[in-house]
């Protein structure tokens, strides 16, 4: 039996690096804990003292607005001291190694690192390196994983649909370059969703994606039929090497979500998007702003889910 580097000897969560391999009980515990934090955001004083005195360092080696901001808000609502590093102006740009940067920050009594990095496996490397009392949260590494985004997406689904065991979920778009899609698939299958579909052109799907337990569709009209949840992904042009698509207009014609295509899903289907959105490329504005869209609630729930993850880690 291989030891999961994310877990303590007693099976509790030490780091959150990937959803892959985490037991359903841990995912459910995170979702249940997040449920309790929703009310904090509705209070006049939006704070609880759970992480008072803890120092959380946001290490973002890649640009991010939504993820970094929600992690910062989440940590502050838990009463932690939050330090945001401008990596481009830091020692990294002067040639210091990633682990030397981490060691220097750890010497400043860091309790937790929230890490986003362009290299897959960067958060795992930091987690293996830090002292036992320090926790690491992966806020996105390369094409590999984005566990808190996957968790907030399944939290949103549970909020609107209640149960997982009777759902059909379609993930549409650039699965090949999406760390979010991988985390979503692991979370959905672990939580017992019986049918997860991926809909994309062949050029935007990883080789062997079927082995993740998904049903593959290249035709969006077939793939959307009778689904309960539609998750749209953006085209990650910054990660593409070479031309994988004829044009964004051509892509929208076949894989953009319009009202007409959405009508193929169940009448009460919800539409999700991890952001940032490219309107008119993967989603039409009438859908993004329409009554079936839960894109903005996803962002709100993201704060509660990240509060849950950090409070659970700090308590273990």
User: Which are the contacts of 296, defined by CB distance < 8 A and separation ≥ 6?
Assistant: none
* Orientation angle between helical segments 295-315 and 24-37, nearest 10 degrees: 110
Per-residue exposure over 58-94, b if at least 16 CB sit within 10 Å of its own CB, e if not: bbbbbebeebbebbbbbbbbbebbbeebebeeeebee
Helix H or strand E encompassing 270: strand 270-272
Q: 223 labelled as ligand-binding?
A: no
Q: 275 labelled as ligand-binding?
A: yes
Q: 67 labelled as ligand-binding?
A: yes
Number of Cβ atoms within 10 Å of the Cβ of 308: 25
Q: Are 134 and 106 in contact (CB under 8 A)?
A: yes
Helices (H), 211-268: 220-223, 248-255, 259-262
Q: 49 labelled as ligand-binding?
A: no
Tokens of 16: 């959150």
Q: Are 183 and 145 in contact (CB under 8 A)?
A: yes
Q: 149 labelled as ligand-binding?
A: yes
Q: 95 labelled as ligand-binding?
A: no
- 3-state secondary structure (DSSP) of residue 150: helix
For residues 165 and 226, give the distance between their C-alpha atoms in angstroms, rounded to a whole number: 15
Q: 92 labelled as ligand-binding?
A: no
DSSP 242: S
Q: 11 labelled as ligand-binding?
A: no
Q: 168 labelled as ligand-binding?
A: no
What are residue 219's phi and psi, to 5 degrees? Answer: -105, 115
Q: 94 labelled as ligand-binding?
A: yes
Known binding site: residues? 66-67, 94, 116, 146, 149, 179, 234, 275-276
Known binding site for carbamoyl phosphate: residues? 66-67, 116, 146, 149, 275-276
Known binding site for L-aspartate: residues? 94, 179, 234
């Amino acid at each position: 039996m291989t030891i999961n580097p994310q877990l303590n000897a007693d099976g509790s969560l030490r780091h959150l690096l990937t959803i892959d391999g985490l037991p359903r009980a841990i995912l459910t515990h995170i979702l249940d804990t997040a449920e309790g934090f929703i009310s904090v955001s509705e209070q006049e004083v939006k704070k609880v003292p759970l992480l008072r005195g803890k120092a959380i360092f946001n290490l973002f080696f890649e640009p991010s607005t939504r993820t970094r901001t929600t992690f910062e808000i989440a940590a502050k609502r838990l009463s932690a001291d939050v330090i945001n590093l401008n990596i481009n102006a830091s020692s990294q740009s002067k040639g210091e190694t990633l682990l030397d940067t981490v060691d220097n920050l750890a010497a400043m009594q860091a309790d937790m690192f929230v890490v986003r990095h362009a290299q897959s496996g960067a958060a795992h490397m930091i987690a293996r390196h830090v002292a036992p009392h320090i926790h690491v949260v992966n806020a996105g590494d390369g094409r590999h994983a984005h566990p808190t985004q996957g968790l907030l997406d399944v939290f949103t689904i549970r909020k609107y649909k209640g149960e997982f065991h009777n759902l059909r979920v379609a993930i549409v778009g650039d699965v090949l370059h999406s760390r979010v899609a991988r985390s979503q698939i692991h979370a959905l299958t672990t939580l017992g969703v019986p049918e997860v579909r991926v809909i994309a052109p062949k050029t935007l799907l990883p080789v062997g994606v079927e082995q993740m337990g998904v049903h593959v569709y290249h035709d969006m009209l077939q793939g959307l039929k009778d689904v309960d949840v539609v998750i749209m992904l953006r085209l990650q042009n910054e990660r593409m090497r070479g031309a994988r698509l004829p044009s964004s207009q051509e892509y929208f014609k076949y894989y953009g979500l319009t009202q007409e295509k959405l009508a193929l899903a169940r009448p009460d289907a919800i539409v999700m998007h991890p952001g940032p959105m490219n309107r008119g490329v993967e989603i039409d504005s009438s859908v993004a702003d329409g009554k079936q869209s839960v894109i903005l609630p996803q962002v709100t729930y993201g704060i509660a889910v990240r509060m849950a993850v950090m409070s659970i880690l700090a308590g273990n």
